[in-house]
Amino acid sequence: MSKPAVKVASLAFEIAATGTVPAEAHLLPVGPFRAADGRPEDCEAWLLDATIAANVIQRLRDRKNDTLIDYEHQSLRAEYNGQPVIAAGWFHDMEWRDGKGLYAIGVDWTTTAKQRIADKEYRYISAVFYYYSATGEVLDVISVALTNTPAIDGLDGLDDDDGLATLSKRFSLPALNPETTDMPRPEEELAALRVTHAQIETAQAALTAERDTLKTQVAALTTERDTVTAELAALNKQLNETKAATEAQQKTDLITAALTDGRMAPALKPWAEKQTLAALSEFLETTAPLPITQRQAGDGHTTGTAALTAEQKAVAEKMGVTEEEFLATQKKHAR
C-alpha cells in the first residue's frame, strides 16, 4: 500500500503551575517546529502559521459539539483497551497568537481536573493532530489530553494504516482522504492534462471563430467605407462642376451686359474672359458706360474726342494703357 499523505503526530506543552488553573492551553507552537525526540521523520518539520492556523480553527468551530480534553488520550485508546473515557475538560474555540502559536481558549475544566492540575498530578497538555507528510502542514487538531508522558509512545501505532482508518471513523476531516498518496499517480496527471488540453482546444476554437467573425465585420466595414468615400468624391466632383458651370455662365452674362451697356470695350473681352468672376464683378461695379464720341454721333467734320471720364481713366490704369491708346481702341471698335 502507498505511503499515506495524511499522518498523525502528537506534541505536549507543560501547563503553567500557578495557584489558578488557566482557562486556556498552549496546543502547538509557531512552525516550522519539531519534537524533542526527533519527529517528524517524513518531512523537514511541522508547519504552522497564522494562515494555516486559521483553517485549523475554522474546522473546530464548524463542529457542533465541544472538543473533549481527556486523560492520557483515552478517547483514542478506548476501542482497544475497553476503558471508559473520562473528561478533564471541554472547549469550543482556539486562538492564534503571533510568536507563540495555537491555543485552546475558554477551557471548561472539571473540578477533578482542576484539582489534579493544581496538585501537579498532571503537568502536560498534549495535542494530537493531522498533518500532510509531504509538507508538514498542520491540518486539524483531533485530540487533546492531560498527560504526564509528553512523547506519548503508546500513540505510535496510530500512524499506521489501521490506526489512520480508526481515526478517520472517529474524526472526519472535510476533503481529506488518508488513502491517497503524497503525489498524484501518472494516470491521474495524464487525465488532468487531457482535460486541460481539451479546455484549451475549446477556448482556441472559440477565439478562432471570434477572430473570423471580426475579420468578416472589418471587411464589410471597409467595403462600406470605400463606397461612402467614392460617393462623396462623386458628389464633390459634381458640385465643383456645377459651381464652375454656374460661374462661367455668370461671367459670360456679365461680359455680355458690359459690352451692351458700354461699360467695357470689345477689345477688353479676351482680358475679361481670363478674369475670375469675383475680379470681373469688382471691376464692372466701378466702371461707368463709355461716352459716345463725336464720330459715333455722326459728325464727320470733327476729329477730336471728348476727354476721358474718371471711370474711364481708372479702366485705362487697370489695363496699363495711356488715355490716347484707350481712346484709339474705342474709336477703332466704334467704326
State the average pLDDT over residues 271-279: 89
Residue 50 or residue 17, greater confidence: 50
- The three grid cell numbers given for residue 236, joined into one nine-digit string: 464633390
Total length of the chain: 335
Q: Which residues pair with 80 in a beta bridge?
A: none
Does residue 180 surpass a pLDDT of 50?
Answer: no
- Confidence category of residue 314, pLDDT binned at 50, 70, 90: confident
Q: DSSP string covering 238-270, please?
A: HHHHHHHHHHHHHHHHHHHHHHHHTSS-GGGHH
pLDDT at 86: 95
Which residues are CB-contacts of 194 (< 8 A; sequence separation ≥ 6)?
Answer: none
Q: Does residue 48 register a pLDDT over 60?
A: yes
3-state helix, strand and coil shares in percent for the chain, rounded to the nearest 5: 50, 20, 35
Taking the domains of the chain in order of start, what are their residue ranges? 6-181, 290-335
* Residue 215 banded pLDDT, cuts 50, 70, 90: very high
pTM of the entire structure?
0.49
**Whether pLDDT at 161 is above 60:** no
CA–CA distance, 171 with 191 (Å, rounded to integer): 31
Taking 90 as the threshold, does the pLDDT of residue 4 lie above it? no
The pLDDT of residue 171 is: 55
CA distance linking residue 137 with residue 131, whole number of Å: 5
DSSP 69-122: EEETTHHHHHHHH-----EEEEE-EEEEETTTEEEEES-EE-HHHHHHHHTTS-
Residue 294 has pLDDT above 70, yes or no: no
Q: Is 129 exposed, middle or buried (0-12, 13-18, 19+ CB in 10 A)?
A: buried
Q: Are 164 and 145 in contact (CB under 8 A)?
A: no
pLDDT at position 142, please? 87
- In this predicted structure, the answer to whether residue 181 has a pLDDT above a threshold of 70 is no
pLDDT recorded at residue 186: 62
